Amino acid sequence: MPSEIAVIGGGPAGLLAAQRLAEAGYYVTIYDAQPTVGRKFLVAGHGGFNLSNAEPLPTFEQRYGDRHGHFRDFLSYFSPTALRDWLQSLGISTFVGTSGRIFPTDDYKPAHVLRAWLNRLHTLGVQIKTRHRWLGFAPNQGLQLHDEATSQPLTIYPAATVLALGGASWTKTGSDGQWTTALTRIGIRCVPFGPSNCGAEVAWSAFFREKVGRAPLKNIALQGQGQTVRGELMLTEYGLEGTPVYALTPGLRRVLATQAPAELLLNLKPDLSPEQVYQKLQAPRKGKSLAAYLEKTLRLGPPVPTLLRELAPPAADATPQALAELLQRLPIPVSGLRPLEEAISTAGGVAWEEVNEHLMLQRRPGVFVAGEMLDWEAPTGGYLLQGCFSTGAWAARGIDLWLRHQQ
């Protein structure tokens, strides 16, 4: 008689763990607090739906920062190639974009992928119980749930469990982070949540906010805490958003936590060397306004002149040298990060010392943890979903090994 497994949380990590376990012959039931599963996966299309990245493993694993040692195993076990093969098996082809990001072909949206995936889970006999909120542990390896449709409490006794409860942003998708209460109650350390991959706040003047509002800065480089990221930045009424600033949030968060002033350096011409910029600024200005001069010499149009006026001291463009320096190292003071609720992902979660090498909770044998609820973070670009899929597959592997060992 195959063992019964409970997967709590029907996001990408939980759904993948469920599929792997069902394929290995287990009876799997997914419980999720929301009326439907995969709600955060469905919003992943906002701003380009990338499922993974084609970067080679040695650099890929570095995207997980201090956790790269753990991720080497997870990514080797369920790699970006395995992810593409799995998507193909669902009928979803993928391609590698110029940035290395892996996208679905034919403009497939997350809803297409999720539909095909849920059909596969159905075929494999996986049960999905929505509106079932996990409340905590019960004696004798039990799990306490609340059936929100009938308002009835429920205690289940699966042979093993995957917890894949997500982070704590975009709470309307179900990732509310309330699960930390149940874990800390039994002594499991959870690292406090923090926003990751989110916008940065800059105290723009009222004039700047009104004049610029929301405007893109294409093909720039942003530097912070020794790291430089290329891409497109968006100036917004509250500050900055876009891939380069998202990628720098771990460093910004660390500095801001010490109450020290945080600063980013903006390079508006990253394809030119400092000498080349300086050379171009040798052209006589002949009474031209700064805006007209920058447009003519370096093809830097609005909102760059307003940005320089906002951030640089009054005479900072007085000499070509000073202006060249400014254009490639424009300091932007960051006053804070956007709230956790708005963040694309969450730092913090279950501390690594609480799980063994199979992602099983040391204090609760038979309960495994996967996805964003673990204490890791990674930049956008497909690394987040790949991390969730790979830890989901790894937790499923851990359950299989553990149950075989119990027999």
Ligand X SMILES: Cc1cc2nc3c(=O)[nH]c(=O)nc-3n(C[C@H](O)[C@H](O)[C@H](O)COP(=O)(O)OP(=O)(O)OC[C@H]3O[C@@H](n4cnc5c(N)ncnc54)[C@H](O)[C@@H]3O)c2cc1C
Q: Which residues bind ligand X (CB under 6 A)?
A: 8-14, 31-34, 37, 39-41, 43-44, 46, 49-50, 133-134, 164-166, 170, 174-175, 179, 344-345, 371-372, 382, 384-385, 388
CB-based burial, 339-349: b 16+ in 10 Å, e otherwise: ebeebbbbbbb
What's the min distance (Å) between Cβ of 393 and ligand X? 12
3-state secondary structure of 95: strand
Tell me how far apart the alpha carbons of residues 281 and 242 are, in angstroms, rounded to a whole number. Answer: 29
Q: Roughly how many angstroms between the first and final C-alpha of the chain, as a whole number? A: 12
In this structure, what DSSP letter does residue 252 have? H
Task: Please answer whether residues 354 and 364 qualify as being in contact, where contact means their C-beta atoms are separated by less than 8 angstroms.
Answer: no
Which of 14/303 has CB closer to ligand X? 14
Which of 44/396 has CB closer to ligand X? 44
Bridge partners of 164, per DSSP, are none
What's the min distance (Å) between Cβ of 256 and ligand X? 21
Which of 31/108 has CB closer to ligand X? 31
What's the min distance (Å) between Cβ of 224 and ligand X? 22
What's the min distance (Å) between Cβ of 233 and ligand X? 18
What's the min distance (Å) between Cβ of 112 and ligand X? 14
Task: Please answer whether residues 240 and 232 qualify as being in contact, where contact means their C-beta atoms are separated by less than 8 angstroms.
Answer: no
Which of 41/278 has CB closer to ligand X? 41
Which of 52/328 has CB closer to ligand X? 52
Closest CA to 89 of 23, 45, 30: 23
Residue type at 305?
A: P
Which of 317/377 has CB closer to ligand X? 377
Tell me how far apart the alpha carbons of residues 273 and 279 are, in angstroms, rounded to a whole number. Answer: 10
Q: Which two tokens stand for residue 75?
A: 């990514």
What's the min distance (Å) between Cβ of 294 and ligand X? 34
